[in-house]
Structure 1
Amino acid sequence: MKISINRLKDFIPFEQSTEEISDLLTASGLEVEGVATFESVKGSLRGVVVGEVISCEPHPNADKLSLTKVDIGSEIVPIVCGAPNVAQGQKVPVARVGTTLYPKDGTAFEIKKAKIRGEVSMGMICAEDELGLGTGHAGIMILETDLPNGSPAADLFELHTTDVLEIGLTPNRADAASHLGVARDLKALLHKPLVLPDLSDFKPDNQTLKIQVTVADTQDCPRYAGLTISGLKVGPSPGWLQDYLKALDLEPINNVVDVTNFILHDLGQPLHAFDAGIIKGNEIQVKKLAAGTKFVTLDGKERTLTGDELMICDRDEGLCIAGILGGLDSGVSDSTHSIFLESACFGADIIRKGAQHHGIKTDASFRFERGTDPNMPVFALKRAALLIKELAGGEISSEITDIYPEEVADFQVPVRYSNVDRLIGKVIDRKEIKQILESLDILLTQESEEGFVALVKPYRVDVTREADVIEEILRIYGFDAIPLAENYQSDFLAEHPEKDLNKLQYRVSEMLAGMGYSEIITNSLTKSSYSGKSPHIDAAQDVVILNKLSEDLGVLRQDLLFTGLEVLAHNINRRQKDLKLFEFGSVYSQSNGEYREAKKLSLLLTGNARQENWIEAVKPNGFPELYAVVEALLTKLNIRQPEVDLLEEAPFSFGLALKIGQEEIGKIGLLDGSTCKLAEVKQEVYFAELNWNTLGKLARSQEKFQEISKFPEVRRDLSLVIDRTVTFDQLRQLALKAGGKLLKRIHVFDVYRGDKVDTGKKAYALSFYLQDDRQTLTDKVIDKTMGRLMAAFEKNTGALIRK
C-alpha cells in the first residue's frame, strides 16, 4: 500500500522527516518497507533557470543554428540554439551545464559544455518536450514572467514532488488502508489533532434527478447511500489530482472516476459512479441474481454468476458486482452528463467469496473483504460530491439516500488492568493508558480500579478482544519503552525447545570439515609475552596462573589467535604452507577481580587455495575466501547476514567488524605482519574470530522449508562510480531497504580502480536478482524497483550511475 507524505500532512501537520515518520509507523505496526520519491516532472527541473536572450545572431558555420548570449542571473553565457523561434529579448528556460534533462519521450541526458560547429555552447535553451512538460518541439518555450534572471524555472510551473511510503499492510489492519487510516495512528503517535475536510458547504442544489433505492439483503449490505449529480462535464482531471494518483501507481482516467479513486485511497471508502442515463426505471436495487446469469464486467469479460454474489441492478438488469467490479456499459464515459454516486458498506464474507470465485482483485474488493467503516459512507459521499462539482461542474440533484436499518454498534471490550500489566510487562500509569486509547478513538466506560470497558469504533475490525486492546496500548506506548527484566518470563502457547549448543557445534564442524578446514584443539594456557607485545590485548586483563610451570604457560589466553598461529608456525616449518584451520575454544579475562569466560570460534586461512597443477595457475587464498566461509556458517545457523564496519586496528592490517543489530558477533581480516612475527609466521594469514555464545543465541531452527517459486527470476545490472570509502555492505544495505521484498540477491561482478575514473573513485558493477513469489514481474515493476535503487545510491552515496 502506498501513502503520500504530502497528503498525510493535510490530515496531520507535522515537521518530522520522512525517515522519522517511517520509523514511527514501523515501530507501531505499520511497517514501511520502502520509500520512493514521486516527481510530476522527472528531475523537477533542477538546474533549469529563467534566462533572457541578450543577443541572437546567425551561426557563421551553420544555416539553421543561432549564436545567442543569455543572461542567467549569475553570468551571461554563450549558447548555440537550433530553434527557429529564438529571438533577442525573450525570457526562456535555460538548462545550465551539469543539468540532467528528462525528455517526455526519450533517454535522460546531461548538459555539458560543448563546441558546436566551432562555437562554444554553455547550456541549452529548452523546448517543452525536452523539459518533460509536454510534447511540443516546434521551438523553444517562451516564458511570460517577471521573475529575475537566474530564478528556478520550476517556480513557473505547477510541479508536485512527494515522498511515497510503501507500507506492508497486514491483513488485520483494514482500518489503515488509506491516508486517513495512517493519519489516525500518527495522531496518537505525535499527539496532534486530526484535520478532516470541511463539508459544511454541502447541500443539494435541486431535486430534479431522483433514483429510488431498495436493498433486499441488509445482512450483506448493512448500509447503502447514494445521490445524483447532473449537468457535469467529463474530462481530464487537474494536475494535482493526476499527480496524487500517479504517486500511488494509479492511472488517471477522467475527473469523475479519478475523484472516486481519490476518496478510496484518501478515506478508505470505495465509491462507484453509474451513468444515470442508463439506469432503467430510475431504480437501484441491491440484490442477488439467479445462478447462471451472464454479466459482462468492466474488463470486457463475460462472467457467469453463481447466485451468491451481491449485485447492483436497475429495474431490468445488473449494473455492477457489488464491491468488486462494475459492468461494462454502466460506467462513466465521455458522453456522461449525470451520475448516480454510490457509497456503501458491504459484508466482508460475500465480497471475499465473490472476488475469489471470479478471480477479481480490485482496490475496492481489497478493502471490503477486510472490513470497511460503516460510519464513513455518507461522509465520503459528501466529500466526493463537492469535489466532482468543483472539477466537473454540475449540480447535486437529490438528497442523500441513506439506507441504514440497523446501526452497527461499537464493540464493547472489558479490560482488566492486571492483564494489561501482565501482558505488557510493565505497569503503565492509568491516565496514560486512557490518553493512548482515546487518541485512537477508543473510549473508556465503567472505569474502576480493576479495569474498564473499552468502546471501539466498528472500523477497527481487529480490536474485539481484551488482548487486542492491550496490543493497541503497547504499540503506541512503544515496544522499546518496555525495559528488559533480569529474569525473563513469557507466556506462550507453542513449545520452544532449548537449543543444544553441542549439536550446533557439531553441525558447524561438519560443514567446515566439508569445506576443507581441519579442526585444532590448543592449550588454554599461553605466553604472557603476547599481552605485552600485542596492542590488541590488555595485559591488565590477563588471568595469571599462581603456580605456573613456566612463562610459556603463565596466563590463560584472551583470544584464540596466538595459539592458532603457533599451530600454523609448526606446520609451515614442516613445509605445509597451505592451511585451513578452525577451533572452538574458551577465552578468559578479568577486571577488578571479576573473572569472565566466553566461547569463541576461530578460523585461520593461509597459503594457496589449491595445490599446483598443470590445468590452472596457483591462486593464493584471500579475504573473499574466508568471508565466504563466514557467510556460509551464518546461513547454516539460519542467522541473517551481518552489517559490517571497517577495522583499522590491531591485530589486523585491514578487516571488518561484524554486527547483528547492535551486537558484535566477531571480526575478520588480514593479520598485520608484526602480529604474525610474534608467533614466527612469515606468510600472510587471514583470521576470523566469532563469538560462539552470541551465534548460539541467534541461531534459529533449521527446520524451515519454502516452496520453490514458480515465477522466473530477473537479473538487472548497474555500473556505479563511487567514492573509494563507500563499501559494498553500505550499497547492499541501501539496496535491501530500497528494493523491498522483490530483491532477492546482490552480487558484485567487477571492481575497477584506475585512470579511467577520477582520483579517489572506484567503479562497481553490480547485479540485482528480482523475483516475485506470487506473479511474473512486469517491466513496469522491474523498472520502478531499479529506479528506487538508483535513487537510493545517488542520494545516499553520491554515486554516478553509468547509463
Structure 2
Amino acid sequence: MICNAEEPMCIAGVFGGLDSGVTEETTSVFLESAYFNPTSVRKTARRHGLNTDASFRYERGTDPNATVYCIKLAALMIKELAGGEICGDIIDLYPEVIKPFPVKLDYGYFNALVGKAIPAETIDSIAASLEMEITGHEDNAVTLLVPTYRVDVQRPCDVVEDVLRIYGYNNVEFSSELHSSLSFKTMTDSSNDLRELISNQLSATGFNEILNNSLTAESYYEGLTDEHSAPVKLLNPLSNDLNVMRMSLLFGGLEVIEHNVNRRDGDLMLYEFGKVYQCDTTVESTAENPIAPYKEWEHLGLWLTGNIRTGNWARPEEKATIYDLKAIVANILARLGISEREIELKKTDDKLYSAALSINTRSGKSLGVMGIVSKSMLKRCGVKQEVFFAELDWNAIVKLSIKKKVTFSPLPKTQAVKRDLALLLDKAVTMAQVEKVVRDSEKRLLREVTLFDVYEGKNLEEGKKSYAITMMFQDDEKT
C-alpha cells in the first residue's frame, strides 16, 4: 500500500485511491515515480481481480533506474501543457540499487542453440548495438552487462534470442539432412502415438472429431457431485457459462449435437480426446502441495445419435443403437491389443445415463462407462433425441496397451470346429456371465464365443429366457 501519515491512499502498482485522484478543482499535484516488484504486483492484481493499466505495465517489469528521469519529464510536461509551476525538491528513496544484469555468454552455446556458426565479432557487435556493455572475454565466452530497462534479458538464452532477432531468423539456413535419434519413449509419446492411431480408425469409420472448451457451466453438474468430488471453480470466471472446469466430456458433445440438430443435421458420430478435472473436497491444500485436492485425466468421449446408416433405394435407414456403440468401443480396445478375455462389462448406476455398462479389467481397474444418456441430462443441453455416449479413461487404457507386444504367428493350416449350445437361463443372467464361464472352461482351443439368438416369451417359464451361442475351437497343430 501507498499511505499518507494517517490512511492508505492506493494499492501500489495496481489501483489508485479515490482521494488521490485529480479533478477539475485540483490546483496542486504531488508527483510520485516508483518501481514495484513485478511478481508482487501480479499476485496482488490476481488476488483482488483488478486488471488495470498500471498492473499491466508493472507486472511485466519496468526500468528501476528511470524513475528520476520520468518524474522530471512529467513535471516538465505539466508545466508546458497545463501552465503549472514546479516547486519542491526531488526526494529519491532507493534502498537497494539495482545494477545492470551480468550475463556470461558462451559462443559455443550460442551457435549450438541457433544451429549455425555465427562469428564472435558479429555477436559482440549486435550486443553492443543493443546497449549491452562488454566487460571482457575469456574461454571462448563474452561477459555482458545488460541494461536494467531490459527486464526480459537476464539469462544467456535471452541474449541469444535478442541477438538473433537483429541477426535475422531467416538468415539461419536449414541443412539438407536431419539426423536424430530417440532412445526411449515416454508415456506422453506412447499416448500421442496411440491417440493418432485411434483417431485414424474412428475417422475412417465415419466419425467426426470435435474439440470443446475445458471451461463449462456449473449448472450442468447440479446433483451429480458428492462429498468426494466437486468441479474445479475459477477464481475469476468470464461468465456463469464458463465458471468451472469440466468433469465429463458429455455436456460439450451434447452442445455440439444440439447445435447440429437445430441446423437439420441429426445423424452424428462424434469423438473427442480431452482432459477432465475434479476437486476432492476431502483433501486439503498444503504449503508443500497446494494442488493436492485437484486431479486431471485424459478421456476419450464417443457420441452416437440419429441414424448410423442413411436410407436409399437399396436399403432402409438404420438407427444407431447402444450395441453399435458397444461394438465401436470393442474395436478400439481390440486395436490397442486389449483382448476380450481381459475385459468385464457390468451394469452400473450412473446419474448421466438411464442405462449404463461399466468397462473394467479382470482385476477391477475401471476403463470407462458407456450407455444411454438420461433424458434429464439431454434436457440440460436442449437435446430432444436419443444419444448414446461412452467415456473412456484414456490414461488407464494407454497404460494397459503399452504393455502389449505385437507378435507374429502364421495362419493355422487346420480347420476350425463350431459347436452350438442352447441355454435356458434366468432373465437376470447376462451374456457377459455366460461368456466368462465358457472362456474359463477352455482357454487353449477356444477362439470365439458368439451369441446368435435370444428368445423370450411363449413356451418358456416366467422369468426365463433362451440364449443360443456358437463356440469356435481350433488347434493349430491338428484337427
Tell me which interval the TM-score lies in, with the shorter structure as reference length.
0.5 to 0.7
Decide whether the 8 Å contact of 1:653 with 1:669 is kept in 2.
yes
Decide whether the 8 Å contact of 1:637 with 1:702 is kept in 2.
no
* Among 656, 669, 679, the residue aligned to 2:357: 656
Give, in whole Å, the separation in 1 of the partners of 2:268 and 2:199: 16
Give, in whole Å, the separation in 1 of the partners of 2:203 and 2:330: 16
Residue 725 of structure 1 corresponds to which residue in structure 2? Answer: 428
1:735 Cα deviation after fit: 0.4
* Among 524, 531, 538, the residue aligned to 2:214: 524
Residue 318 of structure 2 corresponds to which residue in structure 1? Answer: 619
2:291 maps to 1:588? no
Residue 245 of structure 2 corresponds to which residue in structure 1? Answer: 556
2:347 maps to 1:646? yes
Relative distance call for 1:569 and 1:539 in structure 2 (3 A) is farther
2:450 maps to 1:747? yes
SS at match of 1:665: strand
Residue 338 of structure 1 corresponds to which residue in structure 2? Answer: none
Identity of aligned residues (%): 38
Decide whether the 8 Å contact of 1:537 with 1:558 is kept in 2.
no
Give, in whole Å, the separation in 2 of the partners of 1:681 and 1:537: 26
Give, in whole Å, the separation in 2 of the partners of 1:768 and 1:589: 44
Structure-to-structure mapping, 1:64-463, within 5 angstroms: none
Give, in whole Å, the separation in 1 of the partners of 2:338 and 2:352: 26
2:334 maps to 1:635? yes
Residue 511 of structure 1 corresponds to which residue in structure 2? Answer: 201
TM-score by structure 1 length?
A: 0.34
Q: What amino acid is aligned across from residue 664 of structure 1 in structure 2?
A: S
1:422-471 Cα deviation digits (max 9, x unpaired):
xxxxxxxxxxxxxxxxxxxxxxxxxxxxxxxxxxxxxxxxxxxxxxxxxx
Decide whether the 8 Å contact of 1:531 with 1:539 is kept in 2.
no
1:672-719 Cα deviation digits (max 9, x unpaired):
111111111111111000000001100045632221111111111111
Q: What amino acid is aligned across from residue 753 of structure 1 in structure 2?
A: E
1:114-153 Cα deviation digits (max 9, x unpaired):
xxxxxxxxxxxxxxxxxxxxxxxxxxxxxxxxxxxxxxxx
Give, in whole Å, the separation in 2 of the partners of 1:728 and 1:750: 11
SS at match of 1:676: helix
1:646 Cα deviation after fit: 0.7
* Among 362, 386, 399, the residue aligned to 1:684: 386
Decide whether the 8 Å contact of 1:531 with 1:537 is kept in 2.
no
Relative distance call for 1:504 and 1:586 in structure 2 (3 A) is same
Give, in whole Å, the separation in 2 of the partners of 1:537 and 1:578: 34
1:649 Cα deviation after fit: 3.0
Q: What amino acid is aligned across from residue 652 of structure 1 in structure 2?
A: Y
Give, in whole Å, the separation in 2 of the partners of 1:510 and 1:538: 39
Give, in whole Å, the separation in 2 of the partners of 1:739 and 1:600: 35
Residue 49 of structure 2 corresponds to which residue in structure 1? Answer: none
SS at match of 1:543: coil
1:755 Cα deviation after fit: 2.3
Give, in whole Å, the separation in 1 of the partners of 2:207 and 2:219: 29
Q: What amino acid is aligned across from residue 669 of structure 1 in structure 2?
A: G
Relative distance call for 1:539 and 1:521 in structure 2 (3 A) is farther
Give, in whole Å, the separation in 1 of the partners of 2:349 and 2:200: 32
SS at match of 1:740: coil
Residue 695 of structure 1 corresponds to which residue in structure 2? Answer: 397
SS at match of 2:399: helix
Q: What amino acid is aligned across from residue 194 of structure 2 in structure 1?
A: L
Q: What amino acid is aligned across from residue 257 of structure 2 in structure 1?
A: L
Give, in whole Å, the separation in 2 of the partners of 1:506 and 1:643: 26
1:161-196 Cα deviation digits (max 9, x unpaired):
xxxxxxxxxxxxxxxxxxxxxxxxxxxxxxxxxxxx
Give, in whole Å, the separation in 1 of the partners of 2:405 and 2:388: 29
**Root mean square deviation, CA, Å:** 1.7
Residue 203 of structure 1 corresponds to which residue in structure 2? Answer: none
Residue 371 of structure 2 corresponds to which residue in structure 1? Answer: 669
SS at match of 2:458: coil
2:224 maps to 1:545? no
1:499-553 Cα deviation digits (max 9, x unpaired):
5211110001000111111100000000010111x43677951110111010000
Relative distance call for 1:539 and 1:573 in structure 2 (3 A) is farther
Decide whether the 8 Å contact of 2:216 with 2:241 is kept in 1.
yes
Decide whether the 8 Å contact of 2:217 with 2:243 is kept in 1.
yes
Residue 29 of structure 2 corresponds to which residue in structure 1? Answer: none
Give, in whole Å, the separation in 2 of the partners of 1:503 and 1:702: 15
Q: What amino acid is aligned across from residue 196 of structure 2 in structure 1?
A: Y
Q: What amino acid is aligned across from residue 527 of structure 1 in structure 2?
A: A
2:459 maps to 1:756? yes
Q: What amino acid is aligned across from residue 273 of structure 2 in structure 1?
A: F
Relative distance call for 1:530 and 1:665 in structure 2 (3 A) is same
2:437 maps to 1:734? yes
Give, in whole Å, the separation in 1 of the partners of 2:245 and 2:411: 50
Residue 413 of structure 2 corresponds to which residue in structure 1? Answer: 710
The number of residues matched between the two structures is 281
Give, in whole Å, the separation in 2 of the partners of 1:765 and 1:589: 44
Q: What amino acid is aligned across from residue 316 of structure 2 in structure 1?
A: A
1:346-396 Cα deviation digits (max 9, x unpaired):
xxxxxxxxxxxxxxxxxxxxxxxxxxxxxxxxxxxxxxxxxxxxxxxxxxx
Relative distance call for 1:496 and 1:710 in structure 2 (3 A) is farther
Decide whether the 8 Å contact of 2:310 with 2:316 is kept in 1.
no
2:283 maps to 1:607? no
Q: What amino acid is aligned across from residue 774 of structure 1 in structure 2?
A: E
1:721 Cα deviation after fit: 1.3
Q: What amino acid is aligned across from residue 719 of structure 1 in structure 2?
A: A
1:260-295 Cα deviation digits (max 9, x unpaired):
xxxxxxxxxxxxxxxxxxxxxxxxxxxxxxxxxxxx
Give, in whole Å, the separation in 1 of the partners of 2:386 and 2:257: 11
Residue 598 of structure 1 corresponds to which residue in structure 2? Answer: 297
1:602 Cα deviation after fit: 0.5
Relative distance call for 1:728 and 1:496 in structure 2 (3 A) is farther
1:640 Cα deviation after fit: 2.3
Give, in whole Å, the separation in 1 of the partners of 2:369 and 2:389: 8
1:774 Cα deviation after fit: 1.4
Q: What amino acid is aligned across from residue 550 of structure 1 in structure 2?
A: S
1:655-680 Cα deviation digits (max 9, x unpaired):
11111122000001111111111111
1:726 Cα deviation after fit: 0.6
Give, in whole Å, the separation in 2 of the partners of 1:714 and 1:536: 51
Give, in whole Å, the separation in 2 of the partners of 1:618 and 1:694: 36
Residue 573 of structure 1 corresponds to which residue in structure 2? Answer: 262
Structure-to-structure mapping, 1:460-499, within 5 angstroms: 498-499=186-187
Give, in whole Å, the separation in 2 of the partners of 1:574 and 1:586: 28
1:775 Cα deviation after fit: 1.0
1:577 Cα deviation after fit: 0.7
Give, in whole Å, the separation in 1 of the partners of 2:349 and 2:468: 26
Decide whether the 8 Å contact of 2:338 with 2:400 is kept in 1.
yes
